[in-house]
Amino acid sequence: MLTLIPIPAFADNYLWLLHDGQQALVVDPGDAEPVQRVLQQNNLQLLAILVTHHHADHTGGVNTLRDETGATVYGPATEHIPTPYAPLKEGDNVNALGLNFHIIDVPGHTSGHIAYYTPDINGRPLLFCGDTLFSGGCGRLFEGTPAQMLASLDKLAVLPGNTAVCCTHEYTLSNLRFAVAVDPDNQTLAAYQMHCENLRRQGQPTLPTSIAQELLINPFLRTRQSALISSARHFDAAAYDDVSVFAAIRQLKNKFK
């Protein structure tokens, strides 16, 4: 049995740690200190560090953790990750904790962003998707185009519905305020918003989410639905194809307060 822990860091990051009682891996350790604390408390040996993209809040703790533990660092082949690390691209695999992670290229938030997918952990698939997919939202397009991000999200959307989706930020409530504005008649979304507000009131994470849940409520996975097309056209009358609708929804989110 493996244990999955979202370690809170900074204002709203989660550093996901997975362990079997003795050995552990961590994803996107932007800060070493909270990871070291969990390793010590649980008497765990860190074997692997999985990095999804180059941003400092995902890599700031990599060197310290590698130096202290000897863990192997994995990261995207085409981005600047603290060296030495094993460079990965789509089609590659990482073996750790008896699991096999498949690498999926998901450019958009950054140009070389990757995700890690494993088909069976405690009976269900699991995805570490960095800043590509959030509950109710998606990452900002710092380096990629709307077409790239839409193609990346389309790859994640076809993963099994029960896939546990481990996003790296607790952005859910603010994402859902935007989601209800552009998808106002979605009753599943309204119920999910209440559920997540309750979780946050109790100090609980809203994550992991699942692919099936996101397909029902996430505007960035629903840009081919009539409600989202209509919201996009309200903003940009020329939003007529998949990419321009997606681009319009992303721009609306950037401006949303």
**Among all residues, which ones are annotated catalytic?**
53, 55, 57-58, 109, 131, 169
**CB of residue 167 to Zn ion, shortest distance in Å:** 11
CB of 85 to Zn ion, least distance (A): 17
- The distance of closest approach from Cβ of residue 106 to Zn ion in the complex, given in angstroms and rounded to an integer, is 12
Contact call for residue 79 and Zn ion (CB under 5 A): no
Query: Nearer to Zn ion by C-beta: 76 or 125?
Result: 76
Output the smallest distance, CB 237 to Zn ion, in A: 32
Number of chain positions touching Zn ion (CB under 5 A): 2
Burial of residue 46 (CB within 10 Å: 0-12, 13-18, 19+) is buried
> Is beta strand 124-130 parallel, antiparallel or unpaired with respect to 137-138?
unpaired
Task: Show contacts with Zn ion in window 102-141 (CB under 5 A).
Answer: 131
With contacts defined by CB under 5 A, name the span among 15-23, 52-60, 84-92, 246-254 that binds Zn ion.
52-60
Which of residues 54, 55, 66, 253 is near Zn ion by CB under 5 A?
A: 55
Positions in 232-251 near Zn ion (CB under 5 A): none
Q: Nearer to Zn ion by C-beta: 57 or 214?
A: 57
In the complex with Zn ion, which residue's Cβ is closer, 128 or 192?
A: 128
Query: Cβ closer to Zn ion: 105 or 131?
Result: 131
Complex with Zn ion: residue 131 or 214, whichever CB lies closer: 131
Q: How far is the CB of 149 from Zn ion (least distance, A)?
A: 13
* Euclidean distance between the first and the last CA atom of the chain, given in angstroms as a whole number: 42
Where along the sequence are the contacts to Zn ion (CB under 5 A)?
55, 131
